[in-house]
Chain A
Amino acid sequence: MKSNVGKILTTAAVAATISTGAAAATLDDVKAKGFIQCGVSQGVPGFSNADDAGNWTGIDVDACRAAAAAIFGDAQKVKFTPLSAKERFTALQSGEIDVLSRNTTWTYTRDTSLGLDFTTTNFYDGQGFMVRKDLGVETAMDLDGATVCTEQGTTTELNMADFFRKHQLSYVPVIVQKADEALAAYASGRCDVFTTDKSGLAAHRSKLSDPAAHMILPETISKEPLGPVVRHGDNQWKDIVTWALFVQINAEEMGISSENVAQIKAESKDPSVRRLLGAEGNMGEALGLNSDWAYNIIAEVGNYGEVFERNVGPNTPVGLPRGVNNLWTEGGVLYAPPVR
């Protein structure tokens, strides 16, 4: 706790003193220092999580890696700053990090009043509820009078309040500073319900001692488009982070993956594929990058489908289905503008 306060104060002080001009060319700063400083969570499996050796993996981590691959041709040129929910925006505003990629929900207030810009969505989520199976609850409408645990400083708090108010259900809120302790309070029986984004529920359930004793209720009570965030006013930098994600989505749509990208670049006759991979023209120039920027993203990080399957897909401990996070051609909502 103390350290959090300290961190916020220092970042506030840093914001006050050195960040004049931080709104300018982040790309130049990043190129000069040789890596991207990426703000991530303190550990959400599948999104941003460090293993025993300190290697970060996850969908949010890969968003930063894609930008690094586009700029440097090396997806490893990223340094990570783990941030709590309440530290994250200050860290980005103050210039401590270059990109905030920390399962952060895109909302009106955040986009307009924080001096920040959301790039695009890399995961479409929605808030849900987790309960013990032996409670006998089938739907969220049965939760009248329940005690609800959640993490502090997230959109979750407000969505929960809105849901219960809308349906005129009474509830007791237990709002804990960190997700892990909120989960511990739920596990100890302080609460009947644990609520956060559904992807988070799946990730947290995998941490419980007996995951099978808990179930996620069918209701999704909010829209949670999660995506990377950059500082307001640096359009070039925003474009790089945004298009690094669009390239991955387009690549999946075109059937280009990290395994076949080299072959396709050499053999393809399709002009849109050749433009994307830099075999024709120089699409990277407009972003201040090399012509092989998109090629590097796909070769080093993979297309969106690969990223999803590797981090949160059905074969991972998180085990999420593609659901809405599928290509528009496959019944999902992923629809990236064309690279042309």
Chain B
Amino acid sequence: MNEKTTTNTSFFNDAGNRALLFQTLLLIAVMAVGYYLFHNLQANLQTQGISTGFSFLNEPAGFPILIHLIEYTEANSYGRAFVVALLNTIVISLMGIVLATIIGVIMGLARLSQNWLVARLATVYIETLRNIPLLLQMFFWYFAVLAALPHPRNSIIFGDFLLNKRGIYSPNPSFQDGIGIAVAAFFIAVAGAIALIVWAKKRQKKTGVWFPAYWTSIAIILVGTILGFVIAGFPVEFELPQKSRFNVSGGMVLVPEFVAVLVALSTYTGAFIAEIVRAGILSVNWGQTEAARSLGLRDSLTQRLIVLPQALRVIIPPLTSQFLNLAKNSSLGAAIAYPELVAVVMGTTLNQTGQAIETIGLCMLVYGSLSLSISFFMNWYNKKMSLIER
């Protein structure tokens, strides 16, 4: 440690003190403006006789929601409706992110393909979907899907599956006694598979002998789970979809609203991700591939061990932005009756209760936290993937 140097500069001429002073002033100004707005808001709401607060969340909602992952009826509260909508938003966002990434990687690689036709098709896909507004694409998928499918009376039937304008109906599994054995078998198999992968990695580091651990572990999980079901005596019963007067009743249903939103979100974002993947791969110098080959690595290993890790450094930051966009764009689902947060909370709840500031605040809070969580996860992943420099 150095000794503190004493200087003759006055307090206000010191750069550090000045910076601190201005930052404090700025902070005070921001807080003052914030307080002014909040105070003004409260005063205005009071003079206008608009009730405030979050007590409305305990009131019965009274409206139905098309898709609910947890039990929900009209008699439940606005708070529960909020949770239902939140889950719908999270589910569509996460599924969209997974699908968009898969589509993006495939299309990005396809656009780099040596095969002329594949590369051109990928280009056409990317340029078309990237350049049409997402809302339009959602309407297209929704009304195109609806127009193409038959009326419930003339449902398309494959075995126990039914397909019509109201959705895809499949048998609904209900688990009986003894399902615990099958579940336990699955977890034991997973644990075994993980142990195998760890062992194989350790052995390869020590001895250099390679073992196909990933394929083997998939086989272990499959066989283990099936074995568990056999031992438990197949404790599953299926409720089959039945045609009723208007619709199909019973069974599980995947509604067109969900399908349209998912397809629109994942193909749209997938087009952007494809370009990010392409840019990432092109950013890795060709010399890297040549060097790997001259070391005798197979092509698949060259991609996996040399090119991809370096490409990922370029890919991850813009990929994060695309994931965030996708999560926020899921709010467009409100336009085609997908009951996500904006539809249920800022649409119906806001209109029934009139609590504009509270409901919009809730929505902002949710989208903020959702985006920040994705962002934190991706930053962690980015750190993990970045080159460790010595």
Contact = CB atoms under 8 A, between A and B. Distances in A.
Contacts of A86: 346-347, 350-351
A144 B48 contact: no
Contact of B65 (A135, A173, A231): A173
Interface string A71-103: 000000000000001100110010000000000
A111 B307 CA distance: 66
B321 to A, nearest CB: 18
B48 A158 contact: no
13 contacts: A1-B332, A8-B346, A15-B356, A89-B351, A90-B356, A113-B354, A114-B50, A146-B247, A162-B74, A170-B249, A173-B65, A185-B142, A232-B48
B181 interface: no
Contacts of A162: 62, 74
A42 interface: no
Interface stretch (A17-25, A258-266, A285-293): A17-25
Interface of B is mostly: helix
B357 A12 contact: yes
Contacts of A22: 48
Contacts, number: 157
Contacts of B343: 152, 175, 177
Contact of A154 (B49, B244, B247, B351): B351
Contacts of A147: 166, 246-247
Contact of B354 (A23, A89, A145): A89
Interface in A122-165: 135, 143-147, 152-154, 157-158, 160-162, 165
Interface in B230-269: 244-247, 249, 256-257
Interface in A296-311: none
A16 B48 CA distance: 11
A107 to B, nearest CB: 10
Given A145-B244, A146-B247, A9 B360 contact: yes
B50 A174 contact: no
Contacts of B337: 174-177, 182, 185
A190 interface: yes
Given A1-B135, A113-B354, A8 B348 contact: no
Given A20-B43, A144-B245, A189 B165 contact: yes
A212 interface: no
B63 A157 contact: yes
A19 B360 contact: no
Contacts of A160: 64
A20 B135 CA distance: 37
Given A145-B249, A181-B336, A114 B354 contact: yes
Interface of A: 1-2, 5, 8-9, 12, 15-17, 19-20, 22-23, 85-86, 89-90, 93, 109-110, 113-115, 135, 143-147, 152-154, 157-158, 160-162, 165, 170-178, 181-182, 184-185, 188-190, 192, 231-233
Contacts of B41: 15-16
B335 A174 contact: no
Nearest to A152: B347
Contact of B166 (A15, A172, A177, A178): A172
B146 A189 contact: yes
A172 B51 CA distance: 33
B342 interface: yes
Contacts of B66: 172-175
Nearest to B352: A158
Interface string B129-150: 0000001000100110011000
Tell which of B44, B165, B335 has the most Cβ of chain A within 10 Å.
Answer: B44
A21 to B, nearest CB: 8
Contacts of B336: 176, 181
A271 to B, nearest CB: 40
Contacts of A144: 245
Interface string B333-370: 01111010011001110111110110010000000000
Contacts of A114: 50, 354
